[in-house]
Chain A
Amino acid sequence: MDAVTSDPARIILICSGKGGVGKTTLTANLGIALARLGERTVVLDADFGLRNLDLLLGLENRIVYTAQEVLAETCRLEQALVKHKQEPNLALLPAGNPRMLEWLTPEDMQRIVAMVAERADFVLIDCPAGIEDGFKNAAAAAREAIVITTPEVSAVRDADRVIGLLNTRGVAPVQLVLNRVRPKMMASQEMLGVDDVTDILALPLVGLVVEDEQVIVSTNRGEPLTLNGNGSGAALAYQNIARRLRGEEIPLEDPSKARRGLRARLMNKIRKTTGLF
């Protein structure tokens, strides 16, 4: 990695409030996708208690040091950054390890992120669930944020709390990713629709990710979907988010309103009015 950077790095917090909605999966896939677009990217696992970004990236056996050792000056930053094998533009930095008793302070977080940002174009911070200390630490160094949620009442409610906190902290822009979208259920109005969620949360949408079995397969392998150009729905969605973050204009299509053939459209209409299937 180059030590000289012209533009300041984009420092993006990936958060949700509720756990299990897809933060870590998004961080891993976005990290790989950005790296593949030539961006020097560092993903920071701020969820040190339940750390698993390493597992999703297939880097679990390569972690020796964490941000904690860097801050204590027992190792250099380069030693703690774990470079991805296939995608050398991407590096992982765990904030700490689960055995840690004392967590870093928000100031520690700002120091380590500032060091990382000097040699990166993008820094993605994988936030722990909740809105307590873990969140506050992770958010301390973020300039912008992506809030990820699913179309479910509890996830949307928690996302709203987080958005309120980000607003008071002056983090901006805050953009929205809607995950685990089920077009059929949305079309029959048995699930919150894309417009419903964006209306309620009043955030610009930067990505729609469908519910996709391939996510599980890729997690099993430790190879994010964006790594091998897998053409699945979720893979494409993650790639598009990466490109939108870089300023590319890529239209967002609501999959529950997707126009396919005439027959599909007709069936969609029947489904909508009857909610039968």
Chain B
Amino acid sequence: MTLFDFIQRLLGRQKPSGTMAKERLQLVLAHDRSDLNPELLEQMRREILEVVQRYVEIDIEEGDVSLETEDRVTALVANLPIKRARPLPALVAAAAAVGMAQPPDADASEELAPTDDPD
């Protein structure tokens, strides 16, 4: 350890490298074990938030979806603070979007056709 490192540590500005090694490993192994790279994880996070948001209003800023590992078991942990539930019509539309029910005035063939309508 250099004198500089030592002073940094005394001042509590730098963690010992062994501790950093452990933290970095835990992070990288959570991804290794799930076979998800950060890019895919980010995409999954966005899609999960999208789906949840159809049903409830969530605090996107506070929302968090991450992989956590303990004892070789990796879990997908989502922490999504709910502001309020969506009003009923919005829920019906959300259900329709996933194909559970048809909104009364929807034309099925039109919905299936690809469209470049910007909405």
A105 at interface (Cβ–Cβ under 8 A)?
A: no
Shortest Cβ distance from A187 into B: residue: B18
Please, which residues of chain A bring their CB within 8 A of the CB of B25? 153, 156-157, 192, 200
Interface residue A193 (Cβ < 8 Å from any Cβ of B): yes
B70-102 with Cβ < 8 A to chain A? 71-72
**Do B18 and A157 touch across chains, with their CB atoms under 8 A apart?**
no
Interface size class of B (residues with CB under 8 A): 20 to 34
Which partner residue on chain B sits nearest A160 by CB separation? Answer: B29
Does residue A202 face the partner (Cβ distance < 8 Å to B)? yes
Is B24 a contact of A153 with CB atoms below 8 Å? yes
Contacts of B19 in A (CB 8 A): 189
Binds A, one of B9-17, B45-53, B104-112: B9-17
Q: Cα distance A236–B5 when bound, in Å? A: 35
CA distance A190 to B15 in the complex (A): 9
Using A156-B25, A274-B10 as known contacts, say yes or no to A193 and B18 having CB atoms under 8 A apart. yes
Q: How far is the CB of A270 from chain B (nearest CB, A)?
A: 13
Inside 8 A of B17's CB, which chain A residues have their CB?
A: 189-191
Closest 4 CB pairs of A and B: A189-B16, A189-B18, A202-B72, A196-B22
**B28 and A157: CB pair below 8 A?**
yes
Confirm or deny: B113 has a beta carbon within 8 angstroms of a beta carbon on chain A.
Answer: no
Residues of B within 8 A of A201 (CB): 72
CA distance A202 to B33 in the complex (A): 13
Q: Are B22 and A192 in contact (CB under 8 A)?
A: yes
CB-based nearest B residue for A158: B32
Q: Is A161 located at the chain interface by the 8 A CB criterion?
A: yes
- Do the beta carbons of B18 and A196 come within 8 Å of each other? yes
Chief secondary structure at chain A's binding surface = helix
Contacts of B18 on A, CB cut-off 8 Å? 185-186, 189-193, 196
Q: Is B21's beta carbon under 8 Å from chain A? A: yes
The answer to whether A164 has its CB under 8 Å from any CB of chain B is yes
20 of the cross-chain contacts (CB-CB < 8 Å) are A152-B21, A156-B25, A164-B33, A185-B18, A188-B1, A189-B16, A189-B17, A189-B19, A190-B16, A190-B17, A190-B18, A191-B17, A191-B21, A192-B18, A192-B21, A192-B25, A196-B18, A200-B22, A202-B71, A275-B16
Q: Whole-angstrom distance from the CB of A117 to the nearest CB of chain B? A: 29
- A276 contacts B by Cβ under 8 Å: yes
- Report the minimum CB–CB distance from B37 to chain A (whole Å): 15
